[in-house]
Amino acid sequence: MNKEFIRALDEIEKEKGIKKEEIITAVERALEKSFEENYDSTNVEISINEETGDTKVLAIKEVVENVIDPNTQISLEEALFHNKRAKIGKELKIKVTPKNFARVAAQKARNIVIQYIRDAERKVIYESYIDKEKDIINGIIQRIDYKNIYVDLGKSEGYIPEKEQVEGENFKPGDRVKLYVKEVKETSKGPQILLSRRAPEFVAKLFEIEVPEISQGTVEIMSISREAGYRTKIAVYAEDSSIDPVGACVGMKGARVNSIVEEINGEKIDIVVWSKDMKVYISNSLSPSEVVDVYIDADKKEAVAFVPDSQLSLAIGKEGQNVRLAAKLTNWKIDIKAESKMDEVLKELEELKLRESEVHEDFEETTKEVINEDSQNYTLDDINE
Can you give the pLDDT at residue 41? 66
Q: Taking the domains of the chain in order of start, what are their residue ranges?
A: 2-128, 132-196, 275-372
User: pLDDT band at 91, cuts 50/70/90?
Assistant: confident
Using CA atoms, how far apart are residues 323 and 313, in angstroms rounded to an integer?
Answer: 10
Within 8 A by CB and 6+ apart from 252, the residues are: none
Instruction: Please state the rounded mean pLDDT for residues 235-256.
Output: 96
Residue 238 has pLDDT above 70, yes or no: yes
User: pLDDT band at 374, cuts 50/70/90?
Assistant: low
User: pLDDT band at 381, cuts 50/70/90?
Assistant: low
- Enumerate the H helices of 144-222 as residue ranges: 200-210, 212-216
Spatial contact of 117 and 12, defined as CB atoms under 8 Å apart: yes
Instruction: Please state the rounded mean pLDDT for residues 224-244.
Output: 96
Burial environment of residue 222 by CB neighbours within 10 A (0 to 12, 13 to 18, 19 or more): middle
275-372 architecture in CATH? Answer: 2-Layer Sandwich (3.30)
Q: What is the model's pTM?
A: 0.71
CA proximity to 233, closest of 205, 203, 260:
203
pLDDT, the chain, mean: 86
Spatial contact of 197 and 232, defined as CB atoms under 8 Å apart: no
The class level of CATH for 2-128 reads alpha beta
Can you give the pLDDT at residue 375? 45
- The CATH number for 132-196, chosen from 3.30.420.40, 2.40.110.10, 2.40.50.140, 3.40.190.10, is 2.40.50.140
Q: For strand 148-152 and strand 136-145, is the pairing parallel, antiparallel, or unpaired?
A: antiparallel
DSSP bridge partners of 224: 234
Using CA atoms, how far apart are residues 235 and 226, in angstroms rounded to an integer?
Answer: 12
* Neighbour count for residue 291 (Cβ, 10 Å): 21
Q: For strand 268-273 and strand 231-237, is the pairing parallel, antiparallel, or unpaired?
A: parallel
